[in-house]
Amino acid sequence: MNKEERHQRILEQLEVKEKVWVSDLAAINHVTPETIRRDLAELEMNDQLTRVHGGAVRYRPLHKEPLFKKKMSLHAEEKKIIAKYAAELIEDGDTIAIDVGSTTAHLADMLENVQGLTIVTNSLYSAERFNLAIEEQRITGQVIMLPGVTNPYQSSVRGIYTVEFLKRFNFNRAFISCGGLTRDAIYDFDMDESLVSEAMISCSQESILLTDSSKLNKKSLFEIGPISNISTIICDKEKPEDWYENSYEWITIPLLLNRKEENVESRLPHTS
């Protein structure tokens, strides 16, 4: 039985049962539990089921933001290569804003030979990674950590002090993440963090949205703002055909994730 047949059998089991178990699926399909866990992870990524302890249940739409560490593990290779392209847009002397996101979190690790950079962020993780880039002499510059109340679940700070302090800046570029986007708007899970992202966009000459394709045509709880406020969108898939907005540039990153001869992290992608 090949992978597609296993996936179909798993989904058929879920049509008649409230929950399927890894051990039962392994026995039925004559494969190891590790193979079934990989199958469940792939089906979950495609919104066909929701994994739970020991197995899976029918798909439950995500209304709560995953913990930051879990977000970093989802679509990780796509996020790295999107961040690698975005890092090429950063120039010497730039003042940039970085919000809290599992794609923007990779920007610091992708930078080389950038001088005089000023980074302003509410992401504790990104601040640490940019400080490391300075320590390793891959970049020169300074990191400004925004004030606010910490959110330990997302490794961030947020709140009224964060937004008010942001209004003092004029950024060359803001690198923004999202929890979902439609042809009309971009969304986030957290109200306070969405306000921070909105403020970064309004204080920037150029706003760049980094998103993997799992976010397309999905809404999360709070709207950051209209998609027309974004200058550039960098994604691993083409813009949906029914998205009529033309005020932003859409950059599609070619992903060669299944070609073992290519090193995804070191390959510089090209605009399609």
Q: Which residue from 50, 167, 35 is spatially nearest to 97, judged by alpha carbons? A: 167
d(CA 199, CA 192): 11
- The CA-based angle 86-88-90, given to 5 degrees, is 85
CATH annotation of 69-252: 3.40.50.1360
b/e per residue, 203-242, with b = 16+ CB within 10 A? bbebbbbbbbbebbeebbebbbbebebbbbbbbbeebeee
261 Cβ contact partners less than 8 Å away, ≥ 6 residues apart: none
> Pick the residue with more confidence: 26 or 44?
26
Tokens linked to 74: 């989802």
Tokens linked to 206: 């150029």
Name the percent of the chain lying above pLDDT 90.
Answer: 62
The predicted pLDDT at position 47 comes to 78
85 Cβ contact partners less than 8 Å away, ≥ 6 residues apart: 234, 251, 253, 268, 269, 271
- Would you identify the CATH topology of the domain 3-58? Arc Repressor Mutant, subunit A (1.10.10)
Each residue of 55-81: pLDDT tens digit?
A: 999 887 655 555 666 666 677 788 999
d(CA 45, CA 218): 14
Q: Which residue from 75, 119, 125 is spatially nearest to 100, judged by alpha carbons? A: 125
The predicted pLDDT at position 271 comes to 40
Q: Which residue from 121, 216, 111 is spatially nearest to 173, judged by alpha carbons? A: 121
Query: What residues form DSSP beta bridges with 185?
Result: 226
Mean pLDDT, residues 87-107 taken together: 95
> Pick the residue with more confidence: 272 or 240?
240
b/e per residue, 55-72, with b = 16+ CB within 10 A? bbeeeeeeeebbebeebb
223 pLDDT more than 70: yes
166 pLDDT more than 80: yes
Mean pLDDT, residues 1-20 taken together: 90
> Pick the residue with more confidence: 211 or 71?
211
Mean pLDDT, residues 12-17 taken together: 91
Count the Cβ atoms, other than its own, within 10 Å of residue 103.
27
Mean pLDDT, residues 194-221 taken together: 93
Q: What is the pTM of this model?
A: 0.69
In the chain, the DSSP E strands lie at 19-21, 49-52, 55-58, 95-98, 114-121, 139-145, 149-151, 156-158, 171-176, 180-181, 185-188, 204-210, 222-226, 232-235, 249-252
Domain regions of the chain by residue span = 3-58, 69-252
Q: By the 8 A CB rule, do 161 and 192 touch?
A: no
